[in-house]
């Protein structure tokens, strides 16, 4: 069983395998199941992700009315041909947004690694597939590669916003996605780790400050930027750029930053954007009172 990214990369490179192979084999061993069984379960998750994006791209609205409809706006904008950051990047952004809008509307999603960060991995997958034309199995592998890196973060740091801030949720998701994009694009296991490291470095310190405590503002747009960050970092890693700080040390830094983060900025709706005048106003409108004034 791999305990950190260094071991994961070493296992893959010494056996001339992909990161996804190592994750699939470990899952078979730990749960004592066949390869087919494990792949089938992951495909079910893939189907849930596909359905969520599809639903989000048709336009949804959350119960609070805070989020919904942005995925449609971005898709329509792409169609005008005027996008400045590139159609593929914006496609990833819109599909990440679509997933999180469905999540906010209490729709069915697959947590990757959490519900609040569920948009990043599928968003990037369903965008890069249009350029890389992966097989069904390669799409499933994308999720195992993401999962392998998420597994390391979850065991050595945290994937919970309440424990480690948004850097632990969207930060982790973004790093996981970058690594999986690198593998799908033909990068080496070491390059996957570079993609993860470069991504997570740029998410360090990100706080969890949801307005009214809802997984909506700023979560949906943080997924958008998480997807964009993953795409750019993956390209950098594929170009041969490396992180001066090794991936495991970046993960450890993220963990320590999370531990020192004030409680007000860890999913309690007490600080950051939640505590802005507009944030409080929205909260009062939704609940009929502001959370910080009660009791």
Partner 1 sequence: MKYKSVFEIIGPVMIGPSSSHTAGAARIGKMARELFGREPKWANISFYGSFAKTYKGHGTDVALIGGLMDFETDDERIINAFEHAKKKKIKIRIREEEAVTDHPNTARILIGDDNGEMELVGISIGGGKIEIIELNGFELKLTGHHPAILVVHDDRFGAIAAVSNILASHKINIGHMDVSRKDIGQMALMTIEVDQNVEEVVLKELKQLPEVTQVTRIAN
Q: Would you tell me which residues interact with partner 1 (CB under 8 A)?
A: 1, 3, 23, 26-27, 30-31, 41-42, 44-45, 48, 64, 102-116, 118, 121, 143-144, 146-148, 150-151, 154-155, 158-163, 168, 176, 210, 212-216, 263, 266-270, 286-287, 291, 295
Nearer to partner 1, 91 or 169 (CB): 169
State in angstroms the smallest separation of the CB of 82 from partner 1. 32
Cβ atoms 159, 265 nearer than 8 A: no
Tokens of 123: 């968003």
If you write DSSP's letter for every residue of 16-83 in order, what string do you get?
A: T--HHHHHHHHHHHHHT--HHHHHHHHHHHHHHHHHHHHHHHH----TTSSS-SHHHHHHHHHHTT--
State in angstroms the smallest separation of the CB of 163 from partner 1. 6
State in angstroms the smallest separation of the CB of 115 from partner 1. 4
Cβ atoms 150, 196 nearer than 8 A: no
Separation between Cα atoms, residue 257 and residue 271, nearest integer Å: 17
Nearer to partner 1, 123 or 161 (CB): 161
Nearer to partner 1, 83 or 156 (CB): 156
Beta bridge partners of 266: 208
CB half-sphere exposure, 54, CA atoms < 13 A: 7
State in angstroms the smallest separation of the CB of 119 from partner 1. 11
Separation between Cα atoms, residue 149 and residue 230, nearest integer Å: 13
Nearer to partner 1, 107 or 242 (CB): 107
Separation between Cα atoms, residue 231 and residue 31, nearest integer Å: 32
Nearer to partner 1, 30 or 241 (CB): 30
State in angstroms the smallest separation of the CB of 239 from partner 1. 27
Nearer to partner 1, 90 or 123 (CB): 123
State in angstroms the smallest separation of the CB of 276 from partner 1. 16
Query: Tokens 């596909």 map to which residue?
Result: 50
């Amino acid at each position: 069983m791999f305990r950190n990214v260094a071991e994961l990369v070493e296992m893959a490179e010494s056996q001339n395998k992909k990161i996804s192979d190592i994750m699939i084999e470990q899952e078979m061993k730990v749960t004592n199941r066949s390869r087919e069984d494990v792949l089938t379960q992951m495909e079910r998750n893939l189907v849930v992700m596909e359905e969520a994006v599809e639903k989000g791209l048709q336009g949804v609205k959350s119960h609070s009315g805070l989020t919904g409809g942005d995925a449609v706006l971005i898709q329509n904008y792409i169609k005008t041909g005027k996008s400045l950051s590139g159609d593929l990047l914006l496609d990833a952004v819109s599909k990440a947004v679509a997933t999180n809008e469905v999540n906010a509307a209490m729709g069915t999603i697959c947590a990757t690694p959490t519900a609040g960060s569920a948009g990043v991995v599928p968003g990037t997958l369903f965008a890069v597939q249009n350029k890389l034309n992966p097989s069904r199995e390669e799409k499933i592998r994308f999720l195992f590669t993401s999962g392998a890196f998420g597994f390391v973060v979850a065991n050595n740091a945290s994937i919970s916003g309440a424990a480690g801030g948004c850097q632990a949720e969207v930060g982790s998701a973004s790093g996981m996605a970058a690594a999986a994009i690198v593998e799908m694009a033909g990068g080496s296991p070491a390059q996957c780790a570079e993609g993860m490291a470069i991504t997570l470095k740029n998410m360090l310190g990100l706080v969890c400050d949801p307005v009214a405590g809802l997984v909506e503002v700023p979560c949906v747009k943080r997924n958008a930027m998480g997807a964009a960050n993953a795409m750019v970092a993956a390209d950098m890693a594929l170009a041969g750029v490396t992180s001066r700080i090794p991936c495991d040390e970046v993960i450890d830094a993220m963990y320590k930053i999370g531990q020192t983060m004030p409680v007000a900025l860890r999913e309690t709706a007490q600080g950051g954007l939640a505590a802005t005048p507009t944030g409080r106003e929205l909260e009062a409108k939704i609940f009929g009172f502001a959370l910080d004034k009660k009791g």
